[in-house]
Amino acid sequence: MKGSKKIIEALNKQLTAELSAADQYNIHAEMYRDFGLHALYERMHHEMEEELEHAKMLIERILFLEGTPDTASREKIKVGKTVPEMIKLDLEYEYVVISYLKDAIKLAEKEGDYQTRNMLTKLLDDSEEDHAYWLEQQLRLIDMMGLQNYIQFRAVGEPNPHA
């Protein structure tokens, strides 16, 4: 099915953002592992996999709409040095991704492409209610516990968040 050029462009912009998020979470996950913060490593590795899953959904949709998925472009990622900085940068990028998603959802509605809208809404749920929410919680925990306690708390593994 041939999709509108505007929709395909918006989906490609979203694809770039999801792949960029995956890159940023990948380096942060590996840094957490290097710090010995296993729970943070596991969680961020899982987030990275979810961003790749989002990218896959976008690629499938673009192909279905007879567009060409752009899997090469990236936005500039931001790598932090300390745990709070890494969490803040990841949250900042989730907010960027959420704002793109909202724009793309508006466009899909305007163009009457409800299947694209539904797919983007699923990505928005994951971004707002899962990724951004978890990152916001971590910053609150650091505030409440102090960084040293938080780090001690995160040095050990935790059960799979989605089990």
How many CB atoms are closer than 10 A to CB 18? 24
Residue with the closest Cβ to Fe ion?
131
| Closest CA relative to residue 69, chosen from 80, 77, 61 | 61
Question: Which residue is listed with tokens 């516990």?
Answer: 145
Cβ closest to Fe ion, residue 117 vs residue 131: 131
Cβ closest to Fe ion, residue 66 vs residue 125: 125
61 binds Fe ion (CB under 5 A): no
Q: How far apart are CA 113 and CA 7, in angstroms?
A: 8
**Residue 116: both structure tokens together:** 């694209």
Question: What is the smallest separation between the CB atom of 1 and Fe ion, expressed in angstroms?
Answer: 24
* DSSP reduced 3-state for 7: helix
Footprint (CB under 5 A) of Fe ion, residues 6-25: 18
- Contact (Cβ atoms closer than 8 angstroms) between residue 12 and residue 70: yes
Footprint (CB under 5 A) of Fe ion, residues 89-128: 127
Question: Which residue is listed with tokens 């409800």?
Answer: 114
Cβ closest to Fe ion, residue 5 vs residue 56: 56
Q: How far apart are CA 39 and CA 79, in angstroms?
A: 19
Cβ closest to Fe ion, residue 19 vs residue 142: 19
- The residue count for binding Fe ion (CB under 5 A) is 5
Question: What is the smallest separation between the CB atom of 62 and Fe ion, expressed in angstroms?
Answer: 15
Q: With the CA atoms of 95, 97, 99 and 100 taken in that order, what torsion angle do they form, in degrees rounded to the nearest 10?
A: 170
Q: Which of 28, 31, 42, 54 binds Fe ion (CB under 5 A)?
A: 54
Cβ closest to Fe ion, residue 131 vs residue 154: 131
131 binds Fe ion (CB under 5 A): yes
Contacting residues toward Fe ion, per CB under 5 A: 18, 51, 54, 127, 131
